[in-house]
Amino acid sequence: MKIIADTGKCVGAGQCVLTEPSLFDQSEEDGTVIVLDDQPVGDLVEKAREAVHVCPSQALSLEE
């Protein structure tokens, strides 16, 4: 699995960071998503799916 983030679409709600801070962070400058680990394994796979589900702008997607 690979996490794809589209910072152009991102609106910086921070939902992904709240879901799993070890996978995601936000830019200090404009709040957009920074993917810390784009190839999650184990329990983090489910967290990545949840982050995609709650993202308000569909800026996140998964390549299975």
Partner 1 sequence: MTAVHEFPMTRTCPFAPPPAYTEIREEDPVTRVGLPDGRKAWVVSRHEDVRTVLNDRRFSADRQHPDFPQLVPGFRRPDDERTMITMDAPEHGPARKAVLGEFTVRRMEALRPRIQEIVDERIDALMAGPKPGDLVEALSLPVPSLVICEMLGVPYADHDFFQTHTAKLIKRDTPPQERRAAVEAVREYMSDLIAGREDNPPDDLLGRQIVKLREEGTYRRASLAATGFLLLVAGHETTANMISLGTVGLLENPDQLALITGDPGKTLDAVEELLRYFTIVDAATARLCVEDVEVGGQLIRAGEGVLALGYAANRDAAAFENPDELDIERGARHHVAFGFGPHQCLGQNLARMELQIVFDTLFRRIPGLKLAAPVDDLPFKDDANIYGLYRLPVTW
| Locus of tokens 């995601």 | 24
Q: Which of residues 14-43 bind partner 1 (CB under 8 A)?
A: 14-15, 17-19, 21, 25-32
Nearest to 15 by CA among 44, 63, 53: 53
Nearest to 33 by CA among 8, 63, 62: 8
Q: Name which of 27 and 39 has its Cβ closer to partner 1.
A: 27
Smallest gap from residue 59 Cβ to partner 1 (A): 10
Q: Which residues bind partner 1 (CB under 8 A)?
A: 11-15, 17-19, 21, 25-32, 50, 53-54, 56-58
